[in-house]
Structure 1
Amino acid sequence: MKSVQIRKFLLIDSAYKSRILRGDKVTTIRYGNYEAEPGSEVYLVLTPSDTAVAKIRITGIERKKVRELTDRDAKLDGFRDVRELLGELNRIYGELYGDDEVTVISFEVTKRFKDGIPLKWLKGLNYREPEEIARLYLENQERLNLNRGTDFIMRRIYNEGLGRAVRTFGPKRVREALLKTYHALYGEGII
């Protein structure tokens, strides 16, 4: 069986968002072999919107056979018991059997985002957060020489958050300003 590397983000169904952010769900159980470095931080991205809502630290990876899953595994994953957990796994992956392997990925939320960040924006910014781009812009604006429109957008992101900037200037202008600023910062060797 091929293994899946978790490097920059972990996709999770939006139905689990509130359970995760409350701390009721601290694992995700995936069919197959998943690998991640314990201690690594990745973005938690909701599907189907493909929006990052938090940053999480992977605290553990454990491989098990389906028949080895316990009520404790179910509770850590936000379910009442192993029967409810298996019902959900079968719904997602199709019928699983006792010898099928799953990976239990343990994590903790390290940072919540007030405004979700579209995954395609994170990819375009090489997984830098918009607020970090705005902060670096303000710290280095004299070296970057960007236009007033970009300056207004970066200041809005820094002072009021990404969501407010998007509501004020529109997603297309904000994304363009972030990319322009990222490339200017990169060109100057700042990032």
Structure 2
Amino acid sequence: MDGTTSSQPSTAPQSLHFHPDYLDAVRAGQKTTTVRFRDPVETGPVSLVFELSDEVALPGVVTQITVKKVAELSESDAHADGFRDLAELHDRLRFHYPRIGLNDTITIVHFRLAK
């Protein structure tokens, strides 16, 4: 052996964890993105996990990743994320990530339920 190791890619899909408040909006197709801060995500199969007393996991697909600053988020970003407006999205980001600032880089994860 030469001391090198090869890592096999994982066959298990990645997981995206959600607050349980978002379950109905995801199921209804009203929430098709999620904004993540310091939470790396890749395109491909994903398990959408909702943290309820009985965990709910829905099969999904991450279709696109968009990187931008918090200050660059738009009203259309807020609507795709299931919020009324940009102010509500900013409020929820501060709730989930209390130390997030306008100049921080975030990832917008575009997803859909698997068929």
TM-score range, shorter chain: 0.7 to 0.9
Q: Which structure 1 segments of 5+ residues have no match?
A: 1-6, 112-191
> Paired residue for 2:15?
9
Q: CA RMSD in A?
A: 1.6
2:40 partner SS? strand
Cα 1:49–1:60 change in 2 (3 A) is: farther
1:33 and 1:63 in contact (8 A); partners too: no
Distance 1:57 1:50 in 2: 22
Q: Partner of 1:57 in structure 2?
A: 61
Choose which of 22, 25, 45 in structure 1 pairs with 2:28.
22
Distance 1:101 1:58 in 2: 19
Give yes or no for the alignment of 1:81 onto 2:80.
Answer: no
Does residue 109 of structure 1 match 2:113? Answer: yes
Which has a greater percent of helix?
A: 1
Q: Is the 8 A contact 1:33 1:101 kept in 2?
A: no
**Cα-to-partner distance string for 1:15-43 (whole Å, 9 max, x where unaligned):** 1000000000000101125231x2x1111
Amino acid at match of 2:91: G
State the shift of 1:48 in Å. Answer: 4.2
Secondary structure of the structure 2 residue equivalent to 1:108? strand
* Higher share in strand: 2
SS in 1 for 2:67: strand
Query: Which of residues 91, 98, 104 is equivalent to 2:95?
Result: 91
Higher relative contact order (Cα pairs below 8 Å, separated by 6+ residues): 2
Segments of 5+ residues of structure 2 without an aligned counterpart are 1-12
Query: What are the residue-to-residue correspondences of 1:20-169 with 2, within 5 Å?
Result: 20-32=26-38, 34-36=40-42, 38=43, 40-49=44-53, 51-111=55-115
3-state SS of 1:34 partner: coil
Query: How many correspondences in the alignment?
Result: 103
Give the share of equivalent positions with the same residue, in percent.
33
